[in-house]
Structure 1
Amino acid sequence: MESESTPKLHKAPRSDVTQDQGKFRIRFNFPGRNHPDHDDHGYGPLSTVVESFMDPDTLISMHPHQNEEIISWVPAGVMRHDDREGNELVTDSEHLLVMNAGSGFWHEERTLADDPPLRMLQIFVRPHSLDLDPGIQHGPIEGPIDNEWRHVFGPEGSEAPFTVRNDVHCYDVRLNAGESVDLPTTAGRDTYFYVFEGAVEAADTHFDETESGLLVDADDLPVTAREDSVLVAFRIDPDAPVTRRGTIGR
């Protein structure tokens, strides 16, 4: 009989939850749906990982967010951000943007006509409390090192370069074909990962581009690239207190 402490890896195929607005298209990935016995589309504080596509010369006009933390991760190309606080910011492979929306934050996004087509992730984290002070973080992020996890963001008080207001850490890695790394895990935490590019294998399970896995009750698990790959992983406290009143990331 399998013990409750036996590591479990749950795979989800490519999500079919999409919205098509012509020059702006999105695909919603719900980490809670990886787990067959989970009744929440999110998984603890990680609500949604949204794959976003913007064609050149696209404007997403000014709109509000409340009670969610929104992280824009741009591996290539540029995403241009303006907001009602007077910020005009460019997020690209060398910069990260975190909107701690709190009680309310208005922004718009755009690409210019001579910008390349954009594919990025927008990550929605549920905060621990409602109506926190709104704010924004934007700045350079340490360059990636092949085959090593890079710490992208983490909870307030952690050593992460950018912070969110709940117990979820984010990492990314550029993994060369044939190379392996252990998923970022620790006792009492679970790990959700998303294959942004390429294909990998973990625990004799194959994951293609845009597929995802959820590792539960494990101290470590190696993942191996079957071709050059880019992965994003989240180390999550599944029992962290959360709110569910975000504009999008409920």
Structure 2
Amino acid sequence: MENFLKSISEEPLKVIDASILLEKYIPISISSENKELNFNISSSKEWQNYIDNYLLKNNAKVAYGGYLEKRDIYNRSEHFSKQKVENQRNIHLGIDLWCSAGTSVLAVLDGKIHSFKNNINFGDYGPTIILEHTIKNKVFYSLYGHLSLASIQHVKEGDKVHKGQIIGALGDNSVNGDYAPHLHFQLINNIENYVGDYPGVCAKKDVEFYQKNCPNPLTLLKIN
């Protein structure tokens, strides 16, 4: 899958506001091993302050990263942490792009609306759109989570979209699962029977399966 993704485009592809230069992107870690996260990680406002200060310090507009990153932030939500320790879902399967609420979200490639949904559990995606792509006879999917409510109000399953087309905007913490504004972007080989949703976090015991089914989006975006 990695070689296939690399072959799709030689140029970096955008999934948020195309006017933001790649020079204004900065990698970030919010893993459980990052000792700089010395604030109340259950507070979306404190996360917002941390992200804002991080971007300001680095003269950046977008902080990105998180693929297969183990995170403590999900411990605040029973949606992720109510299972036994060995089944707790805390390994992130997409990448996050942290930037301002209202930032436009773009279709990464030509495709169509597979499904959409407002995933309203605390700590969940909030408004989410999933696109279906067929390239070189291969079908795969891209997921866009933590959108604004308006992003899913006028879409229909089967609607065609084009690479770079605005499909929505980032939501704020009142609608996006109570996070600092960001896009959760994930690639999926086999979406199974999911509609408007797909696991974005998994337990350690399931990493091997999900790593194969959800390849690293940076292979396609080529940000780094």
Same fold (TM over 0.5): no
Larger radius of gyration: 1
Bigger share in strand = 1
Bigger relative CO (Cα 8 Å, ≥ 6 apart) = 2
Determine which structure has the larger helix proportion and give its number: 2
